[in-house]
Amino acid sequence: MQKKMTFFPGKICVVFRKGPLGFLLQEPSKKARRIKEDATLQDKSIPTRADLVHQNALAVVLQRGGDASDRAEVLGDYILQFGKYKGKSFRWLLENDIGYTMYLIKNLEKEEASGVTVTAGHAKDSLQSFVNYALGFAEIQSLCTYEASGVGVMAASSEDDQLVGFGTRAKSTWKEIWDSRADGYATFILGKVCVPGTRMFKLQQYLQKRQRSASASPPEEHPSSVSKPMGKLVIIYCYLPYLMTCD
């Protein structure tokens, strides 16, 4: 029996702007630059509630015949409720200003690391939703990894070698954070509420995994606890012939 195919004629995918070598272009497009430089083109209205933003995006997707079950596609039609690009869709921002996207991701991570919230209310909800959406793309993830490394290496060889990439411990590896957990920084990260996909969230997951592994492992026996009784047995064995001749 032939499997029935489902087509969505109105499905829209993000088209990233890339340079000749395939890297993402971070400078704003002409359309984005025009908005950034002209305040009269910027939306100054009051931010809309997150539930209404979702309903409006869902309606847009359904109207054009898109895939309403695809969370990323629906998020792509969410409307920004903050900043100079307020009023533009999430998809539009990814396609027109990757540099600003990276700025938003880093700033949100700094807020999480410091515990100080700069953006609040519906604007903050929109910011967190956009960061989640952006980090759902492999291209953005790779760019974050590249910039966090500080060198021309796209990814670390293992989880242990991943760099923190934010805050005062930006240049430390994840393993160094775990090994130096006595200083309280690992506990601080474990206690934070993080946006999924951010560098802090990934570090938190790593620390949680190491924590579970450490609690599941049996305590190691100290070598001295074995060597002492063995030493007594050796002494008794060596003097046994002498003791037997003392009768």
List, for residues 189-213, the tens digit of each pLDDT value: 998 887 777 888 889 989 999 988 8
Question: pLDDT at residue 72 above 80?
Answer: yes
Domain-embedded: residue 48: yes
Structural domains in the chain (count): 2
- The number of beta carbons lying within 10 Å of the beta carbon of residue 164 is 23
Summary mean pLDDT of the chain: 83
Same domain, 146 and 94: yes
Same domain, 106 and 149: yes
Domain-embedded: residue 38: yes
Compute the average pLDDT of residues 8-17.
Answer: 93
pTM exceeding 0.85: no
Least confident of 55-59, 146-150, 237-241: 237-241
Domain-embedded: residue 230: no
Same domain, 15 and 126: yes
The residue segments making up the domain with residue 150 are: 10-155
Tell me the C-alpha distance between 71 and 57, whole Å.
11
The pLDDT of residue 113: 81
Domain stops at, among 137, 155, 173: 155
Same domain, 109 and 55: yes
